[in-house]
Amino acid sequence: SGKIRTNMEVLIERIMKLARDDPRRVVHSFKVALALTFVSLIYYVRPLYDGFGVAGIWAVLTVVVIFEFTVGGTLYKGLNRGIATFSAGGLGLGAIYIASHLGEAEPVFLGFMVFLLAAVSTFIRFFPHIKRRYDYGVLIFILTFSMVAVSGSRVEKIIELANQRLVTIIIGGAACMVVSIFLCPVWAGEDLHKLVALNMEKLANFLEGFGGEYFKLDEEESSGEAGVCSKDKLLFLNGYKSVLNSKASEESLANLAWWEPGHGRFRFSHPWKQYLETGGLIRQCACHIEALSGHLNTDIEVQSEFHKRIAEPCMKVCSESGKALKELASSLRAMKRPSSFSAHIQNCKAAIADLRAALEASSPDSANLVEMIPSIAVGSLLC
C-alpha cells in the first residue's frame, strides 16, 4: 500500500507539473469535453433523423477529430474536412449515377474509380505545399468518395444520407470552431510570436552569462561558491540548446497561424513567414553559441597574460550583444521599434575594435580564445 501510495504521488506530481507548465492544457481538455458533450446530447435527446443516432455518430466523430489545441489547428481541420466532404460527396454521387446506368459493369466501374482516385490523391499528398496546408483535406476526400461509392447504388437514399451527414458535420464543425475561438482561444500565431522572442532571450541570456563564466578572473576565487556558479551555468546552457531544435515547432505553428483570422495585435495577413526567417537566423546564431559553449568545459590551467588582456573587451562584446538581443526581443514582444538598440550595437562594435587591437598586440599561445570573434560578429550581425 505504501508503494502504491508513492506511485500515486509520483503520478499526481507529474499531472500537476504538466498542468502548471501550461495551464491552457487543462482549459483545452474542458473545451473538448464541453463541445463533445453538447453535440452528443443534442443528438441523444432529440435524434434528428432516424432515431438510431447514426447521424449523431458523425457529429461526434467530427468534434473528436477536428478539435485541436490551437485555433489555427481547429480551423485547418474543420475547413479542410468540410470542403473535402462536400466536393468528394458530389463527385461520389456523380460516379454512382453513372454507375447505375452501366448494369453489370457497375462494381467494376466503381472499383476502378476508387482505385484511381485513391492512388492519385495519395500521391498528391507527397507535394510539400499540399502536405503543409491540405493534407487532411485530401485524406478526407479519399475517405468520403470511397464511402459514398461503397454505400450502394440507390441514388435517392444516398442523397438523403449525404445531406444528413453534411448537416451533422457542419453542426459538429461549427461547435468546435465556436468553442475554440470564443472560449479562452489558443492562437498559434501568438505562440509563434512568443516562441521567437523567447528564443532570442535565451541566446541573450547565454551571451550575458558566458563572459562572466569564461573569464571568471578572480571573482570565483574570492567567493568560492563553485556550486552555485555551475548550476547557473547549466541553466543558461540548456536554454540555448532548445533553440537549436525549434525549427519543426516554428514551422508547424506558422502553418497553423496562416489559418487564423485577425485577432488583437495580429492582423489577417500578418507576415508569419518572416518569423520563420528570423527563427532561422536565431538558430544560426545558436549554432555559433554551441561552438562557443564547447570552451566552457575545458579547464584553463594557466590564466595567461593574454587571457587577462582580452578578457575586458570580450566580456564587453558578450554583454553588449546580449543586451542588444534582449532589447530586440522585448521590442518584438511589444511590437515596437527598438529604442536603445543601435547604442548597444555601437558599443559592441567599439568593443570588437578593442578586441582586435588587443589581439594584434599579443602573442598567440592562447589562440583558442580568438575564435570568439566570429561568433560575436554573428551575434552583432544578426541584430
Q: Is 69 helix (H, G, I), strand (E, B) or coil?
A: coil
Closer to its own copies by CB, 65 or 198: give it: 65
DSSP state of 218: S
Site residues (CB under 8 A) for its own copies, limited to 102-141: 107, 110-111, 114-116, 118-120, 122-123, 126-127, 139
Question: Which parts of 241-270 interact with its own copies (CB under 8 A)?
Answer: 244-245, 247-248
Contacts of 57 by beta carbon, 8 Å cutoff, 6+ apart: none
DSSP single-letter state for residue 127: S
Determine if 358 is a binding residue for its own copies (CB under 8 A). Answer: no
CB of 205 to its own copies, least distance (A): 18
Our CB check for its own copies shows the closer of 40 and 331 to be 40
Tell me how far, at minimum, the Cβ of 22 lies from its own copies, in Å: 8
Least CB distance to its own copies at residue 271 (A): 22
- Alpha helices, DSSP H, located in the chain: 2-21, 24-45, 54-66, 71-100, 106-124, 128-133, 135-150, 155-182, 188-214, 219-223, 226-244, 247-257, 272-293, 305-334, 341-360, 372-382
How far apart are the C-alpha atoms of 245 and 359, rounded to whole Å?
34
Q: Is 83 in the site for its own copies (CB under 8 A)?
A: no
231 φ, ψ (degrees, to nearest 5): -70, -45
Residue count, binding to its own copies (CB under 8 A): 79
Q: Contact with its own copies (CB under 8 A): which of 23, 94, 152, 224?
A: 152
Smallest separation, CB 319 to its own copies (Å) = 21
91 in contact with its own copies (CB under 8 A) = no
Nearest distance in Å: CB 167, its own copies: 16
> 290 or 312: whose CB is closer to its own copies?
290
**Should residue 281 be labelled a site residue for its own copies when binding is judged by CB under 8 A?**
no
Residue 350 or 378: the one with the smaller Cβ distance to its own copies is 378
Window 21 to 80, contacts with its own copies (CB under 8 A): 25-26, 28-30, 32-34, 36-37, 40-41, 43-45, 47, 51-54, 56-57, 60-61, 64-65
CA nearest neighbour of 207 among 239, 246, 245: 239
Positions 164 through 203 that interact with its own copies (CB under 8 A): none
| 60 or 328: CB nearest its own copies | 60
Which residue from 133, 283, 333, 349 is in contact with its own copies, where contact means CB under 8 A? Answer: 283
As to burial, measured by CB atoms within 10 angstroms (0-12 exposed, 13-18 middle, 19+ buried), residue 304 is middle
**Smallest distance, its own copies to C-beta of residue 211, A:** 18
Q: Quick count: other Cβ atoms within 10 Å of Cβ 97?
A: 12
For residues 176 and 162, what is the distance between their CA atoms, to the nearest angstrom? 21
- The Cα 215–Cα 358 span in angstroms is 16
Residue 228 vs 381, nearer CB to its own copies: 381
CA distance 120 to 77: 21
Residue of 7, 163, 346, 368 that binds its own copies (CB under 8 A):
368
Closer of 147 and 181 to its own copies (Cβ) = 147
Residue 295 contacts its own copies per CB under 8 A: yes
**Is residue 306 within 8 Å of residue 363, measured between CB atoms?**
yes
- Cell 477536428, residue located: 66
Q: How far apart are CA 230 and CA 105, in angstroms?
A: 77
- Whole-number Å distance between alpha carbons of 74 and 178: 10
